[in-house]
Amino acid sequence: MLTRYLAKECAPEVRVNAISPGGMRPEPPAEGIVLNPQSRNPMQRTGYADDIVGAPLYLASGASSYVTGTVLFVDGGHTATVT
């Protein structure tokens, strides 16, 4: 709600968005090691630091010039499965 409120108050000069990462690991495990095979997200894997890099790059780019007041979930779809 804070993201939406600030987006409304700061528009049109400032765009306000948030990034909500899911559970992440700093780096992938060594080859052959499987972590969390029963993952609770549709991607069926754990997220890594490299997976989140695109979100701030997108929000900082001109491609998101009409995006404000949103929360970008980078969680492998976990949020979509919460009931």
| CATH number for 37 | 3.40.50.720
Contact in structure between 5 and 58 (CB atoms under 8 Å): no
The Cα–Cα gap between 75 and 53 comes to 13
User: What pTM, to 2 d.p., does this model score?
Assistant: 0.80
> Is 78 a residue whose pLDDT tops 90?
no
Residues 6+ apart with CB under 8 A from 38: none
**Helix, strand, coil percentages in the chain from 3-state DSSP, rounded to 5:** 35, 15, 55
More confident residue, 55 or 23: 55
The tally of domains found in the chain comes to 1
Query: Tens digits of per-residue pLDDT, 26-76?
Result: 877 777 666 665 567 788 888 888 899 999 999 999 999 999 999 999 998
pLDDT of residue 26: 80
In the beta sheet, which residues pair with residue 72? Answer: 19
In the beta sheet, which residues pair with residue 49? Answer: none
